[in-house]
Amino acid sequence: MALTDPKIKALKYSPKGKKSYSDGGGLNIVLKPTGVKVWQYITTMQRKPIKFTIGKYPEISIKRARQIHQEARELVAQGVHPKILKEKAKADKELNEKRFSDFCMVWIKKQGYKSSTESDLIQRIEKNLSPFLDRKPVNEWNTRELLGVLDRMVQRGAIETARRLAGTLKNVYNDIFLLGIVDINPAQGLQELLPQKPKPKNFGAITNVDDLKDLFLSMQEIRPREDYAVTQALRFIPLVFLRPYNVRYLRWEYVDIDSNQISIPAEEMKRDKPHIVPLSRQAKDLLLDMAELTGGNEFVFSTSRGRGKPLSENTTTAAFKRRKNPKTGKPYGTGAITSHGFRHTASTLLNEMGFNADLIEVQLSHLNKDTVRATYNKAEYLPQRAEMMQAWADYLEALQSKGSVIPIHRVMVS
């Protein structure tokens, strides 16, 4: 006779040994001396007895126990041990507990990105996707909801970021689809639903000397709500010609104060070539100042709130936008200057001042056969570059003095 809940609840355990009660077809409920009631399926397979424990009652209801029992019988009929059901249930549970960021990290590691590219992508994902998508399992998101997450970026003007991350979503969800966790890829076609990316613009750069002087005067402004590391990063960027990423991810291990230089390994550089930055007196003083604050951290420019992490993407450009033009009293805003734009500023002015083009291109780490000799190595022109960097830093210092700008003399390459 089939079991019922009242019958199971009325069963009395015996301290002398376990008792078994049949529900039919090999499904039994076993009452242990401890009082625990367990569902078991007992049968034979290939003429050998097998026992498959389904789970405890009442955690596993009669209805659910019978469902699992039926699945187990079908597997036995195919010559498959029913323990595979438990393995599948465990795998399903693990997959259900995983969130988008877990699958995303697996996908990123498979791409073989350079460390700089990978770090930037992870930072964008941690800022824009993970805080929202990790709130529920990946199989509970639909296209409309994913679009809503991307639209947050669009609303703040980060259209290009939204389009890039739409591509990342599609690729990660393709892996999730292939794993059988979702029936369709909900991120397919998301880019088509987003606004077109804006027309490419040149990095905001100031090349007029009077305008540059105004900007440097504004950089002397102390902003109470701005982290000191951000303020110092703004002042450091024009001195070193580095790309914003290399300033944000500048590690103390790359800095050699005694040798007056920064040595950045190839994997951190855009063109996979190691790069040396000679330190001017001004740049060195700034680093010594930062050492008192962040010398125990991994990164030079890590904020007090950042717990040792590097500055986030666009932090310095946003800080430049907030600086007020001394002539107008209004913030510079978008388009006037960017962190990357200082590279163009330095290149333009140094070329106008008569510095050797190869010297400038080497310091900018523009390594291509049209601008730099094929015999270039990381130490080439180092003394001349050190002299140029000091001359440039002196020139910028003069801009901040509010007095007459001291002309800088070109450094020749022998």
pLDDT single digits (tens) 152-166: 999 988 888 999 999
Average pLDDT in the chain: 84
Token pair for 186 = 């909900």
d(CA 258, CA 216): 28
Higher pLDDT, 145 or 381: 145
pLDDT at 95: 61
Across the range 53-63, mean pLDDT stands at 91
Higher pLDDT, 43 or 412: 43
Q: How confident is the model at residue 378 (pLDDT cuts 50, 70, 90)?
A: very low
Residue 327, SS3 per DSSP: coil
Integer Rg of the chain from CA: 33
Residue for token pair 């291990």 = 253
- How does DSSP classify residue 307? T
Q: One-letter amino acid identity for 262?
A: I
d(CA 356, CA 260): 22
pLDDT at 350: 87
Query: Residue 202: pLDDT above 70?
Result: no
Chain-centroid distance of CA 65 in Å reads: 45
pLDDT at 203: 53
Hey, what domains does the chain have and what are their CATH numbers? 5-97 (3.30.160.390), 100-193 (1.10.150.130), 209-399 (1.10.443.10)
Across the range 297-321, mean pLDDT stands at 83
Across the range 281-293, mean pLDDT stands at 94
Percent of the chain scoring above 70 in pLDDT: 87
pLDDT at 314: 78
pLDDT at 373: 45
pLDDT at 413: 47
pTM exceeds cut of 0.75: no
Query: Residue 78: pLDDT above 80?
Result: yes
